[in-house]
């Protein structure tokens, strides 16, 4: 029997779904009003939804009040133009539920939820109950955000969670594991959503049939990643491979340990203000800027490829 909740989400959340970066000033304060320009930039680039509170958005650093402030500002900025996904990077079932309920009557298309990630790892049954409790308390569809090394979920575990909890409708598969993307596409139900978060392998993920992506590059260069996704959808693999290798070079220039800072720098090279990461994350160094600039030029030449 098909899952109508999953089917509805599957029909809506495909394509490029960028996780917004978070605008912090030099002191690490959230800059009020700064998210609207980024939301407009994403929508103008052709994205299908926006995600707030993900890893690229340093969601793990937000206090409860900052979480509400950022979600409210971004939600209002979308103004119904694209679906809105709320990210939860928290350590307990209770906190996850409290954060969603604090958002009031926002029309949230889905929650992107990590497994808990501190020292103590729950077993599969406890993990299923974690996702079940969030779904039952919020009634918002859930995407598993599979990225935590300490609590990395196998394809079997994610399929078991989706089977047990009807509100868990899909997943974002990260950590460079393209085989899990393939396994999930092979074994998941047709209505389940399989998204890639593997920046270096967006093209092969789309070619395998991944339904879209939530990743750092989709935030850094949204228009180019939209072009990549659309090229694969129309079967233009030569164009897709060209985009892929240019994105691969850009990805190689962006150090993982301060990746959100690198994303903000790339955004600033396209006209957005340059914001900083929240301490203790390192800012982009002058040497990093040189490396990123060298790889970014060929990528930005691809921005208008859809109009050719």
> Sorting pLDDT into bands at 50, 70 and 90, what band is 2?
confident
Other C-beta atoms lying within 10 Å of the C-beta of residue 99: 23
Tokens at 79, concatenated? 């103004």
Q: What does pLDDT average to over the chain?
A: 96
Give the number of other Cβ atoms within 10 Å of residue 223's Cβ. 22
Write the pLDDT tens digit of every residue in 127-136.
Answer: 999 999 999 9
C-beta atoms surrounding 182 within 10 Å: 18
- Alpha-carbon gap, residue 174 to 307, rounded angstroms: 31
pLDDT score at 17: 98
Residue-level pLDDT at 1:
67
Confidence class for position 308, pLDDT limits 50, 70, 90: very low
Distances (CA, A) of 176 to 27, 32, 123, 257: 33, 34, 23, 15
Separation CA 262–CA 253 (nearest Å): 9
User: Which residues lie below 8 Å from residue 7, measured CB to CB, with a gap of 6+?
Assistant: 191
Q: What is the pLDDT of residues 25-74, one digit of tens each?
A: 999 999 999 999 999 999 999 999 999 999 999 999 999 999 999 999 99
Residue 200 has pLDDT above 60, yes or no: yes
**According to CATH, what is the number of the domain 4-236?**
3.20.20.70
pLDDT at 275: 98
pLDDT at 303: 75
pLDDT score at 302: 87
Overall average pLDDT of the 147-166 stretch: 95
Instruction: Look up residue 101 and give its two tokens.
Output: 């309920």
SS3 readout for 161-217: HHHHCCCEEEEEECCCCHHHHHHHHHHCCCCCEEEECCHHHHHHHHHHCCCEECCHH
Residue 307's pLDDT band (boundaries 50, 70, 90)?
A: very low
Does residue 306 surpass a pLDDT of 60?
no
pLDDT for residue 304: 59
CB neighbour list of residue 297: distance below 8 Å, 6 or more residues apart: none
For residue 31, what pLDDT is reported? Answer: 98
* Angular region, 271: left φ>0, alpha ψ -120 to 50, beta rest: left
């Amino acid at each position: 029997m098909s899952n109508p909740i999953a089917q509805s989400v599957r029909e809506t959340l495909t394509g490029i779904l960028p996780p917004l970066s978070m605008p912090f000033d030099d002191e690490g304060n959230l800059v009020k009003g700064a998210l609207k320009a980024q939301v407009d930039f994403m929508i103008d680039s052709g994205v299908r939804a926006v995600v707030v509170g993900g890893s690229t958005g340093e969601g793990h650093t937000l206090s409860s009040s900052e979480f509400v402030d950022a979600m409210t500002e971004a939600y209002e900025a979308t103004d119904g133009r694209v679906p809105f996904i709320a990210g939860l990077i928290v350590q307990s079932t209770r906190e996850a539920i409290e954060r969603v309920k604090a958002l009031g009557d926002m029309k949230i298309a889905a929650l992107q939820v990590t497994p808990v990630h501190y020292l103590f790892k729950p077993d599969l049954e406890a993990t299923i109950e974690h996702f079940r409790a969030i779904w039952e308390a919020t009634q918002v569809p859930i995407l598993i955000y599979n990225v935590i090394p300490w609590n990395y979920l196998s394809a079997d575990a994610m399929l078991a969670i989706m089977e047990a909890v009807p509100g868990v409708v899909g997943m974002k598969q990260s950590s460079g594991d393209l085989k899990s993307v393939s396994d999930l596409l092979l074994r998941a139900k047709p209505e389940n959503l399989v998204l890639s978060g593997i920046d270096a392998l967006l093209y092969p993920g789309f070619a395998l049939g991944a339904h879209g992506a939530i990743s750092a590059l989709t935030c850094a260069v949204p228009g180019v990643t939209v072009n990549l996704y659309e090229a694969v959808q129309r079967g233009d693999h030569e164009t897709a491979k060209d985009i892929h290798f240019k994105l691969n070079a850009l990805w190689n220039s962006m150090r993982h340990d301060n990746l959100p800072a690198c994303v903000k720098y790339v955004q600033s090279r396209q006209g957005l203000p340059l914001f900083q990461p929240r301490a203790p994350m390192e800012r982009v160094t002058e040497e990093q800027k040189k490396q990123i600039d060298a790889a970014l030029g060929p990528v930005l030449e691809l921005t208008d490829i859809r109009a050719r």
